[in-house]
Structure 1
């Protein structure tokens, strides 16, 4: 089926129980063909209507082929498949980003450019399980309220677009920019086909609105076990060179470091292993230590473990001195494969991860974590919720002893409500809370914070908990006031009272509790 169109999207009804049908999609003169297996169906049997962007390099021509004419007849063209009402389901996160439809996982290619934050993410637009991944795209002015744009990267042939990163080429060293135009923006990604992985580039010359495949792809063929992936790009201003960190595959579980002077040609100069269970999705960046003023290098892997170090002055190899973790996961669920935003003013470093859980509806699956700011203090990486989250507060209730028991019982809590709690527990006491069946306890005498199966021990002399707790439809997020950790746990809010204040009913000692009802990011 051939379309000559100026529309931006094509749509087709899909159903998770329908058989897979092979579709061939291509542009003008059948160029840039890619092949998808889609569980397409008639509109009366659909779980949802899937939407896919039409790439700008298709030159306003769209060819879609399959051997089922009835399914081809279900295809429609549109300019606006996304609307705010579509984000309002009872099981959908309301202040964590999620895609309107389809399956979402790793955040990719995060950057800031001319007042706008760009979030790309692994996206399968035609189902609620991962398959041939595209890169979805959303934009924001504050990291909290997002507008979904569609897909930015598409498979080639039978491949998938796996994770990667972005770089704003302000000096146009790549030569991909247009004279007098905005800085070119390069997306680095892994093209993953069976047994054949390579690193590729797509670039934008219109400020991140559209991306075009680099005609000399791939820029790096397999360097490791055949499944090397997830390029992370950084710039070393002191050495005046670009850096790429690449996960070299599941067999060696090593990371490779590459250098370039033009972002297009890369040479390996180092390999190393990450201690413990370090694997995939590296995030490499430099950051200034607020305590010492020194600029240090940080490498974070998918599980949230990080290394902190410097570069050797002779050969540029990395020497990792210490490390830690910023994420806490529960049985392989929770925050994973995070990435920080490039090109943010004043050297700030914002970070988001995929919140991996079992939540699926007929039309969508998975969400991102809350956006946080990373800070380095005294050789420790700290994590804080971004300030813009405070703009979601719409009602506030403040409590303190001895009026806890009466006033907490008056707090109107419904299963669909969105909450933020600011809490300071009494010293030396054990306090219990419960959010959607997830127990949270702080034992002042043991100096232990417990949430689900995680246990965090506090330093000597610190016998109270002070922090913030966020409750969305499917998750509870807990942050320590000093930025020492970020705990994200999946919850079931539809089977019981969503918030139980436990021992706070009984305490008569000084305890501070402020409860904020929050607005949805899709409607506020």
Structure 2
């Protein structure tokens, strides 16, 4: 019965109640009652009815030594979860997933989507993210938190911001308030996020803020939340930054299929300045996760502004993707210099919600994305966790044919992360040539760097494969100047009809193709011309790809300077 309610009273002696989850069960609700009062908000958990897929921890340490009542709603009496609830002081986060990446950020357990609130301070990169600690499917949105000193190795810092009466915690951003414009303290970290709530009148999305006085470890929610409201259904994902020429803060908000721009002197009181979006770019779905950054133009002393706009659906190969606009910004209004074009930041299926770090060092603009697609993100073949982030990327602009395009270069830390490299100077391909990637590929996490000289070939094809017959086919079309990746036979593709796919992107005019492939246990990121064109795709092979096979169209070609690295 969907309306069944059960109460479990106990004296709390352990840190956790471990909840048994079955992913295809309907959602139940679980919460805490103390002294006849509801404590906090109730969480949605897919409690096991016929089988246990995994456990998630339900925190009780705050009430140790006290009597509380666990209120569980929506679970029938014959569900097996009643036999499998446990209490414990430990929750084992030892990796149990063969597809968990080695050098891409993932949550220790549970669901993750959009990266949020990233900032750099005192030598540490902070990454927050949309997080469900009560299951590996979307729901119960919190901000999870991880830290790194090198953008490659990440430390789990637990939950940073949890749902409250104003709503669950959707995407947003953080700033370092160096000059104490907010009054929270010099150098305070101020977070902005969307509070999302279901009401009898429909979904409600408002903007809230919190501040941290311990470098982002804990946050204090602003007493007067929400700070911005709207009658719009989709009103979310605040991105805040300082605009020095006018000495004010700017907030970008995604509202349906356009962006709204606000300004503030104190981070608390906001004035709407303008809108952007109508008649620009792709409108196949809802606009989300905006960003606005000023970037240098390669080979010049000039800069231009780039408005990053994530869209779902509407991507070039279905589902979610990231588009961008290059133009001018005066602190109030963004003007797109190329209104006739739709420009994509990444041409793969699995690159979304891309945003940048605040306060990044050395004038860098560093971005990271969510490495999945809303078409199948809830169904990929992992259970302990779901979703990873892309590698971090340094952003800049480059000129081509009188136009400006976004360059996403693998962050310099990826070079520093290389170890045990091996070089093959030249492979001459007449028909078929095979190169072993072992031992660098043995754990499924490595980088391959190469340069293709097609000579008279019109098409150069090569395949990453393993001994199980699973493979990813890549083709450089020399005539059309395109690069494609076919993952239809890459491994497990059965979990979604939208997953088997071939993606294609343009490449530069140079005849030789320079390529860096970042392969991890469940993803491939391809960078041509060191980031001028990028493609990110997830894969789920049953064994690591340990061989690359080059094939000819009947004409000879050369593959030069093949470098294979483990990533430490």
Query: How far apart in 2 are the matches of 1:62 and 1:152?
Result: 26
Shift of 1:166: 0.9
Q: Give the TM-score normalised by structure 1.
A: 0.84
The separation in 2 between residues aligned to 1:127 and 1:465, in whole angstroms, is 43
1:448-494 alpha-carbon deviations (Å, 9 max, x no partner): 2222333333444x222102011111111100124212201122322
Deviates more, 1:12-21 or 1:99-108: 12-21
Is 2:472 the counterpart of 1:456? Answer: no
Counterpart contact for 2:428–2:558, Cα < 8 Å? no
Shift of 1:516: 2.3
Task: Please name the residue that 2:209 is paired with.
Answer: 201
In the alignment, is the contact (CA less than 8 A) between 1:245 and 1:284 conserved in 2?
A: yes
In 1: Cα distance, 2:429 partner to 2:523 partner: 26
| Counterpart for residue 226 of structure 1 | 233
Match in the other structure for 2:134? 126
TM-score by length of 2: 0.78
* Paired residue total: 501
* Alignment partners' CA distance in 1, 2:66 and 2:211: 21
In the alignment, which residue of structure 2 is the partner of 1:148?
156
Cα displacement (A) at 1:260: 0.5
Task: State whether structure 2 residue 363 is matched by structure 1 residue 309.
Answer: no
Contact 1:421 1:513 in 2 (8 A): no
Q: Secondary structure at the match of 1:367?
A: coil
Name the SS of the counterpart of 1:390 in structure 2: helix
State the partner residue of 2:3.
none
* Structure 2 counterparts to residues 355-504 of structure 1, below 5 A: 355-357=371-373, 358=376, 359-378=380-399, 379-401=404-426, 408-409=434-435, 411-412=437-438, 416-428=443-455, 429=457, 430-435=459-464, 436-452=470-486, 453-460=502-509, 462-494=510-542, 499-503=547-551
Report the equivalent of 2:29.
Answer: 22
SS at match of 1:156: coil
Give me the whole-angstrom Cα distance separating, in 2, the residues matched to 1:499 and 1:337: 32
Does the Cα contact within 8 Å between 2:484 and 2:503 map onto a contact in 1? Answer: yes
Where do 1:59-208 residues align within 5 Å? 65-67=70-72, 74=85, 76=87, 78=89, 81=91, 83=93, 85-86=94-95, 89-157=97-165, 159-177=167-185, 183-194=187-198, 195-208=203-216
**1:404 CA drift (Å):** 7.4
Following superposition, the deviation at residue 367 of structure 1 comes to 1.1
Greater Cα offset, 487-496 or 348-357: 487-496
Q: How far off is 1:326 after superposition?
A: 5.0
Q: Secondary structure at the match of 1:220?
A: coil
Report the Cα offset of residue 26 of structure 1: 7.8
CA contact (8 A) 2:454 2:460 kept: no
Q: 1:407 to 1:455 in 2, by over 3 A?
A: closer
User: 1:136-182, CA deviations, whole angstroms, 9 ceiling, x for partnerless residues?
Assistant: 111000111001111111112483211111111111111123xxxx6
Find the partner of 2:365 among 349, 362, 382: 349
Q: Distance in 1 between matches of 2:363 and 2:61?
A: 33
> Where do 5+ consecutive residues of structure 1 fail to align?
none
Give the C-alpha shift of residue 402 in structure 1: 5.5
**Change beyond 3 A, Cα 1:208–1:495:** closer
Q: CA deviation at 1:203?
A: 1.4
